[in-house]
Amino acid sequence: MKVIIDLCVVPIGVGTSVSSYIAACQRVLEDAGLSHQMHAYGTNVEGEWDEVMAAVKRCHEVVHELGAPRITTTIKLGTRIDRDQAMADKITSVQEKLG
Amino acid sequence: MKVIIDLCVVPIGVGTSVSSYIAACQRVLEDAGLSHQMHAYGTNVEGEWDEVMAAVKRCHEVVHELGAPRITTTIKLGTRIDRDQAMADKITSVQEKLG
Amino acid sequence: MKVIIDLCVVPIGVGTSVSSYIAACQRVLEDAGLSHQMHAYGTNVEGEWDEVMAAVKRCHEVVHELGAPRITTTIKLGTRIDRDQAMADKITSVQEKLG
Amino acid sequence: MKVIIDLCVVPIGVGTSVSSYIAACQRVLEDAGLSHQMHAYGTNVEGEWDEVMAAVKRCHEVVHELGAPRITTTIKLGTRIDRDQAMADKITSVQEKLG
C-alpha cells in the first residue's frame, strides 16, 4: 500500500529553536531513500506504508537521542486504491484547474 | 517506545455519512487490544509504537476493503522519554491546574 | 456557519510541562461560553465559526502572555451544510453502528 | 499577531477528485493577497492572524458554494513573539543545519 504523508515533528523541552532536530529528520528520510520534499510547516514523504512509517519512527528515536525529552508530531496520511498518484500529480491536478 | 496518538480517519468518495467506517476502525482498535477512547473528532489510542501503528495501517486496509477508494487521515502522535504518561494522566494534569 | 473543531495548542520553549498553558486555554473556552470537551490530545469545541475562531486566537494571546515565546497549534475543523450535527451526534452515530 | 499556517481543506461527499475545490481555495488566497505556497498535502499561508483566518473561512464558504455538503480541514498554525520569522526563514534554518 502506497502512502503520501505530511510529517511535522515538534520537539518539546529543547527551547524555541528546533531546526537542528528537523535537519536530523531530513537525514533520516534521506538515508531511508524515500522521496520527500520539505516545506515551511512540514515535509511531504511518499513510499510504501511500512517504509514510510519506519522512517517516522526513526525520526522520533533520533530526535529523542539528540536530547528532546518529549515530541509531538502531526501527520496527514493519504492512501487510495482507485489509481496511482504521486506527490507531483496532486499539485499538477490543482494547477490544471487553475489554468 | 510508548506512544499516545489521536487518530482521525476520513474516507473520501463514499458520501457524507462516514460513521460505519469509523465504527469499523473502532473494531480494529478493540481487536488489537489497545486502550482507546473516541471523541467527537477522532480517537485517542495508547500503546507500544509498533502495535499502535499496525492498528492504524489495519484501519486503512479495512476502510478500503469496505469500499472507500481514498482515505485521508490526520494523526497527532506523542512520545516522551522523561517519564511515563498515560492518556488519563494528561487530562488529570490539566484538571489539577484548573483547580 | 456552525463549526466543530478539535484544538491542540502546544507551547514551545517553556519546558516539557505544558498543562498550565492548556488549563489557561480551557478557561478561555469557558469564558467564551463555548461548548467544549477536553480529551487526552486536544479539546473539541463547537459553536459559530467567528466565536470559535475568536477563542482560538485568544488562546494564542493568553499562552504568549503567560510566557510562551512560540506556539504550534493543530486544528481539525468541520463544517456541513446538509444538516445540523452537534459533537454528541457524531459519537452517537458511530456507537449505533457498533451496536 | 503574525501567523504561518498549513492549510488542508478536504471536501466530503463530492467523490474522489477534489482538485477543483482546492483550486478554488488557491484563488481565495490569491484574491486575499496573502503569501502562500502549495505543496502535495496542503498550502502554507502567512500573514496577519485576522486576514489569514478570514481567508480560511472564505475557503469553507466557497467550497460549500461549489457543492460540497461537508468539509473537514486540518490546520497547523504557528505564532511566535520572540522574533519575526517568514516561511522562507524556516526552510533556510533547516537547510543551514543540513550544510
Does residue A99 surpass a pLDDT of 90? no
Q: Cβ contacts of residue B5 below 8 Å, gap of 6+?
A: B44, B45, B46, B52, B56, B75, B76, B77, B78, C41
Please name the residue of chain C whose CA is at the shortest distance from the CA of residue B77: C41
Q: How far apart are CA B99 and CA B4, in angstroms?
A: 25
pLDDT of A6? 98
D69, D74, D81 ranked by CB distance to C69: nearest: D81
* Residue D28 burial by Cβ neighbours in a 10 Å radius (0-12, 13-18, 19+): buried
Find chain D residues with C-beta within 8 A of C13's C-beta. Answer: 82
In which band, very low, low, confident or very high, does the pLDDT at A22 lie, cut at 50, 70 and 90?
very high
pLDDT of B50-82, one tens digit each? 999 999 999 999 999 999 999 999 999 999 999
Residue range A27-43: average pLDDT? Answer: 98
* Contact yes or no for B87/B6 (Cβ under 8 A): no
pLDDT of B99? 80
Is there a contact between B82 and A53 if contact means CB atoms under 8 Å apart? no
pLDDT of D99? 81
Find chain A residues with C-beta within 8 A of C12's C-beta. Answer: 10, 12, 16, 18
Could you tell me if C19 lies within 8 Å of chain A, comparing CB atoms?
A: no
In which band, very low, low, confident or very high, does the pLDDT at C75 lie, cut at 50, 70 and 90?
very high
D13, D16, D74 ranked by CB distance to B16: nearest: D13
ipTM of the complex as predicted: 0.95
Q: Cβ contacts of residue D64 below 8 Å, gap of 6+?
A: C79, C81, D71
Min Cα distance B23 → chain C (Å) is 5
Three-state DSSP at A70 gives strand
Min Cα distance C99 → chain D (Å) is 25
Q: How far apart are CA B7 and CA B73, in angstroms?
A: 7
pLDDT of B2-38, one tens digit each? 999 999 999 999 999 999 999 999 999 999 999 999 9
pLDDT of A3-13, one tens digit each? 999 999 999 99
Residue C1, all three cell numbers: 456557519
Best A6, A7, A72 residue to mutate vs chain C (most C CBs within 10 Å): A72
pLDDT of A73-85, one tens digit each? 999 999 999 999 9
What are the contacts of D26-32 at 24+ separation with CB within 8 A? D26/A94, D26/A98, D27/A98, D28/D55, D28/D58, D28/D59, D28/D62, D29/D55, D29/D59, D32/D58
Largest CA distance in chain A: 47
Best B16, B26, B37, B39 residue to mutate vs chain C (most C CBs within 10 Å): B39
pLDDT of C91? 93
